[in-house]
C-alpha cells in the first residue's frame, strides 16, 4: 500500500513538473484514440442506414430486371420466392430538365407506393398522381428539387409531387441514372419505348439471395446493392482504420522519444531512488504509472471527440434513411483504452526496464553510452563536408533514435503518398462523373466525404509527425550539447554545428521519403482491396518523388530552431555541464 502511494505521488509530481511534455503526449495519444473511436463508430454504423431503409420500405431481397415482362412473371413463381411486386416498366430518358439543367434519368411507372415488396417511403410531398412525379431523395438532393417544383421529362411538363427513399435501387450517384417515379399513364404519355422491366422479390431465405441470383439471370441481391449504397461509409471506415494504425505508430514513436529522452535526463534520479532502496520494480512502476495516467486521459478524450466527430465525417447517402447518431459501445471504449495503454506500454517498457536494470552506481555516475562505430560509415563521412560529417556522426551515435525518426517520417510519408494516390483516383472518378448521367454542378457526396476524412487524417498525421520531428531534434540537440561544444572548441562555427544537427535529422528524412513512396502505395492497394473498391489507375506517379524533397525540406525547417538554439549555447557552459 505504501509503495502504491509512493508510486502515485512520484508519478503525479513528475507529470506536474513536466506539463508541456505531458501535454504533447496527451495530444499524440488522443489523436490515436480519437481516430480509433471514430473508426469503430463509423465502421459499426456503416451498414445500419441500409438495414433501416430496407426495414422502412419493405426492401426486396432481390430485384430482377429484364427487357421482357413475361420473363419476370415466370420468376415470380420460382422456388424460394415468397412474394413479388410489379413488374414495373422503366423508361430511360436523356432529357430530364429542371431550370437550365439537363440530365439522364430512369422513370419507373407505378401507380402507388404500396405492394407486398418495395414500398418507397415518402419523406416529403405525396405519391405521384396525374402530371406529378416522385424523385428519389439522393437524386432530388443533387437536382435541388422539392415538391411543387416543375420539371420536364422528354419535353413534357411535370410537377414534383414528392420525394422518397427506396431499397429497391442503389441511390444516385452510386447507381446512374437517377430514379423518378411516375404514374403508368404518364409513363406511356412520355412516348418513349420501355427500356426494361423490374420486379422486386421477397425470398424465403434472404441470406440465400446470392445463390438465387446466380441461379437466375438479371437478378441483383440486396447484399450487393447494400454494399454499393454504403460504399462511401465503408471507404471512410477503411481510411480511418489505416489512419488509426499510422497514428498509433507515430504515437509510439513520440512516446518513445519522450520517455527515452526523459530517462537519459532522469537516469540520475532513478539511481537515487534505487540508492535509497527502491526496487527496480518500483522505479519501473513509477515510469509506467505516469504514462498509464496519460493513456487513460487520452482514451477519454478520444472517445468523446470520436463520438462528436463521427456524424460530421460519416453521413449516409441522402438516398438512405439516416438514424440517430452512431452509438458508442462498451466494446469500443474498452478497445480504445486497451490500445492507448498498449501504445504507451510498448513505448515505455523497453527504456524503463533498461533504465532500471542499470546498476545504481553507474546510474549515479551519469549517463554513459558505449561508443558505437561503423567503419563504413566513418570512412564515408570522412569525405563529406564538415556539417554533414558532424551530423552523420551524431546520427550514428544514437542509432535507435535515428531509426525512430526514420519510422515516424516513413509512416507519415507513406500516408501522404496513400492520400495522394487516393486523391488521384477520386479526382479521376469525379472527372468521370460528368456526362449525361450526372447532374452538372452537383458535387458527389460519396467522394466529398472520403476527401474530407482523408484530408483530416492527413492533417492529423502531419501534425503528429511534426511534433515527433521537433521532439527528436530537441532530444538530439540535448544529446549533442557536449560533443557540439567540443567541436566548437576545436574550431567549428555555430553555423556548422547547427547545420550538422539538422543534417543528423535529414538523413532519416531522406530515407523515410524514399521508403514512404512504395510503402504508401502498398497501403493504398491493401486498403482498396480490403474495402472492395476499385481504382489505382489514376495515381499521379510522376508527382510522388516530390515526397522526398518535401520531407527533407519540412524536417529541415522543423528542426532548424532546436538545432540553432543548441548550436549557439555558450561552449564553456556545455562543457561544464556533466
Partner 1 sequence: MVTLRARGLRKEYGRGTGLVRAVDHVDLDVEAGETVAVVGPSGCGKSTLLHLLGGLERPTGGELWLDDRRIDRMSETELARLRRHAIGFVFQAFELVDELTARENVELPALLAGVSPRVARRHAAALLERVGLAERAAHLPAALSGGQRQRVAVARALIGRPRIVLADEPTGNLDSAATTEVLRLFAALRAEGQTLLLVTHDARVAATADRVITMRDGALVGRTNLTGAGGGLGAFAGLEG
Q: Return residues touching partner 1 (CB under 8 A).
A: 371-373, 378, 382-383, 386, 389, 393, 396-397, 483, 486-496, 568, 570-573, 575
- Pick 462 or 571: Cβ nearer partner 1: 571
Report in angstroms the alpha-carbon separations of 237 from 39, 232, 453, 463: 6, 8, 9, 21
Tell me the closest approach of the beta carbon of residue 501 to partner 1, in angstroms: 15
Cα torsion through 168, 171, 176, 182, rounded to 10: 60
Q: Is 387 or 535 the residue whose CB approaches partner 1 more closely?
A: 387
The least CB distance from residue 572 to partner 1, in Å, is 4
416 phi-psi bin (left φ>0, alpha ψ -120 to 50, beta other): alpha
CB 39 within 8 A of CB 244: yes
Find, among 123, 134, 120, the residue nearest to 167 by Cα. Answer: 120
Least Cβ distance, residue 421 to partner 1 (angstroms): 41
- Considering beta carbons, is residue 157 or 372 the nearer one to partner 1? 372
**Cell output for 519:** 510503402
Q: Which is nearer to partner 1, 553 or 565 (CB)?
A: 565
- Please report how close the Cβ of residue 393 comes to partner 1 at its closest, in angstroms: 7
For residue 273, report the phi and psi dihedrals to the nearest 5 degrees. Answer: -55, -45
Residue with Cβ nearer partner 1 (389 or 467): 389
Closer to partner 1 at the Cβ: 356 or 498? 498
d(CA 232, CA 174): 9
Measure Cα distances from 517 to 241, 319, 432 in Å. Answer: 20, 38, 26
Residue whose C-alpha is closest to residue 226's, from 177, 170, 176, 295: 170
Residue with cell 418495395: 118
Closest distance between partner 1 and the C-beta of residue 482, in Å? 8
DSSP 3-state of 411: helix
Cβ distance to partner 1 smaller for residue 413 or 504:
504
Nearer to partner 1, 403 or 459 (CB): 403
Q: 295 forms bridges with which residues in the sheet?
A: none
Name residues whose C-beta falls within 8 Å of residue 92's C-beta, 6 or more positions apart in sequence: 104, 105, 106, 107, 177, 192, 195
Nearer to partner 1, 140 or 501 (CB): 501
Distance of closest approach, residue 275 Cβ to partner 1, in angstroms: 24
Q: For partner 1, which is the closer residue by CB, 16 or 383?
A: 383
Exposure of 95 in the CB half-sphere (CA atoms within 13 A): 9
At its nearest, how many Å lie between partner 1 and the CB of residue 577? 13
Q: Under 8 Å CB-to-CB from 464, ≥6 apart: which residues? A: 27, 28, 31, 247, 250, 251, 254, 412
Residue number, 99 or 568, with CB nearest to partner 1: 568
> In the complex, what is the shortest distance from the CB of residue 493 to partner 1, in angstroms, rounded to a whole number?
4
CB neighbour list of residue 518: distance below 8 Å, 6 or more residues apart: none
DSSP class of residue 370? -
Residue 170 CA to residue 319 CA, distance in Å, equals 8
d(CA 294, CA 291): 5
Q: Cβ 480 to partner 1, closest distance in Å?
A: 12
Distances (CA, A) of 396 to 52, 365, 376, 408, 452: 59, 24, 11, 18, 40
Cα(288)–Cα(284) distance, integer angstroms: 6
Residues 360, 271: contact at Cβ < 8 Å?
yes
Length of the chain: 578
Shortest CB 400 distance to partner 1, Å: 15
CA-based angle 152:153:154, to the nearest 5? 120
Is the separation of the CB atoms in 187 and 104 below 8 Å? no
Which one, 54 or 401, has the nearer CB to partner 1?
Answer: 401
Q: Minimum distance from CB of 511 to partner 1 (Å)?
A: 21
1 vs 382 by CB, closer to partner 1: 382
Q: How far is the CB of 391 from partner 1 (least distance, A)?
A: 13
Amino acid at each position: 500500500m505504501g509503495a502504491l502511494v509512493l508510486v502515485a505521488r512520484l508519478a503525479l509530481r513528475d507529470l506536474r513538473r513536466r506539463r508541456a511534455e505531458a501535454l504533447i503526449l496527451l495530444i499524440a495519444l488522443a489523436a490515436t484514440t480519437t481516430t480509433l473511436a471514430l473508426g469503430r463508430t463509423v465502421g459499426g454504423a456503416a451498414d445500419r442506414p441500409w438495414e433501416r431503409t430496407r426495414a422502412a420500405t419493405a426492401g426486396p431481397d432481390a430485384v430482377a430486371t429484364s427487357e421482357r415482362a413475361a420473363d419476370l412473371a415466370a420468376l415470380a413463381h420460382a422456388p424460394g420466392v415468397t412474394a413479388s411486386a410489379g413488374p414495373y416498366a422503366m423508361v430511360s430518358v436523356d432529357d430530364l430538365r429542371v431550370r437550365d439543367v439537363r440530365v439522364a434519368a430512369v422513370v419507373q411507372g407505378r401507380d402507388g407506393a404500396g405492394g407486398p415488396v418495395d414500398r418507397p417511403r415518402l419523406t416529403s410531398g405525396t405519391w405521384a398522381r396525374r402530371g406529378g412525379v416522385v424523385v428519389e431523395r439522393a437524386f432530388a438532393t443533387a437536382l435541388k428539387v422539392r415538391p411543387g417544383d416543375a420539371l420536364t421529362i422528354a419535353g413534357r411538363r411535370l410537377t414534383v409531387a414528392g420525394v422518397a427513399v427506396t431499397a429497391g435501387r442503389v441511390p444516385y450517384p452510386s447507381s446512374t441514372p437517377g430514379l423518378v417515379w411516375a404514374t403508368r399513364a404518364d409513363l406511356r404519355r412520355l412516348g418513349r419505348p420501355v427500356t426494361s422491366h423490374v420486379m422486386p422479390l421477397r425470398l424465403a431465405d434472404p441470406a440465400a439471395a446470392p445463390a438465387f441470383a446466380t441461379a437466375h439471370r438479371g437478378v441483383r441481391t440486396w447484399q450487393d446493392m447494400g454494399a454499393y449504397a454504403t460504399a462511401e461509409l465503408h471507404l471512410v471506415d477503411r481510411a480511418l482504420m489505416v489512419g488509426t494504425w499510422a497514428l498509433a505508430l507515430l504515437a509510439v514513436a513520440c512516446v518513445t522519444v519522450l520517455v527515452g529522452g526523459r530517462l537519459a535526463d532522469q537516469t540520475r534520479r532513478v539511481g537515487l531512488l534505487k540508492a535509497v532502496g527502491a526496487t527496480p520494480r518500483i522505479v519501473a512502476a513509477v515510469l509506467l504509472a505516469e504514462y498509464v495516467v496519460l493513456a487513460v486521459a487520452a482514451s477519454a478524450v478520444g472517445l468523446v471527440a470520436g463520438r462528436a466527430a463521427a456524424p460530421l465525417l460519416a453521413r449516409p447517402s441522402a438516398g438512405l434513411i439516416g438514424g440517430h447518431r452512431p452509438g458508442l459501445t462498451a466494446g469500443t471504449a474498452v478497445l480504445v483504452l486497451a490500445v492507448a495503454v498498449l501504445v504507451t506500454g510498448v513505448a515505455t517498457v523497453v527504456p524503463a526496464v533498461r533504465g532500471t536494470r542499470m546498476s545504481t552506481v553507474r546510474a549515479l555516475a551519469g549517463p554513459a553510452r558505449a561508443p558505437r562505430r561503423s567503419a563504413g560509415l566513418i570512412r564515408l563521412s570522412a569525405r563529406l563536408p564538415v556539417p554533414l560529417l558532424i551530423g552523420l556522426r551524431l546520427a550514428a551515435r544514437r542509432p535507435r533514435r535515428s531509426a525512430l525518426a526514420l519510422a515516424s517520417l516513413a509512416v507519415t510519408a507513406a500516408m501522404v503518398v496513400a492520400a495522394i494516390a487516393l486523391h488521384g483516383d477520386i479526382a479521376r472518378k469525379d472527372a468521370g462523373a460528368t456526362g449525361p448521367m450526372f447532374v452538372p454542378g452537383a458535387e458527389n457526396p460519396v467522394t466529398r466525404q472520403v476527401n474530407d476524412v482523408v484530408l483530416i487524417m492527413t492533417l492529423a498525421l502531419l501534425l503528429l509527425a511534426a511534433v515527433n520531428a521537433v521532439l527528436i531534434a530537441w532530444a538530439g540537440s540535448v544529446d549533442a550539447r557536449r560533443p557540439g561544444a567540443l567541436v566548437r572548441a576545436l574550431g567549428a562555427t555555430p553555423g556548422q554545428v547547427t547545420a550538422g544537427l539538422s543534417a543528423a535529422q535529414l538523413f532519416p528524412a531522406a530515407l523515410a521519403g524514399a521508403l514512404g513512396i512504395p510503402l504508401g502505395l502498398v497501403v493504398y492497394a491493401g486498403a482498396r482491396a480490403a474495402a472492395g473498391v476499385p481504382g489505382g489507375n489514376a495515381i499521379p506517379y510522376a508527382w510522388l518523388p516530390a515526397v522526398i524533397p518535401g520531407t527533407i525540406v519540412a524536417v529541415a525547417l522543423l528542426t532548424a530552431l532546436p538545432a540553432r538554439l543548441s548550436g549557439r549555447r555558450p561552449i564553456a557552459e556545455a562543457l561544464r555541464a556533466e
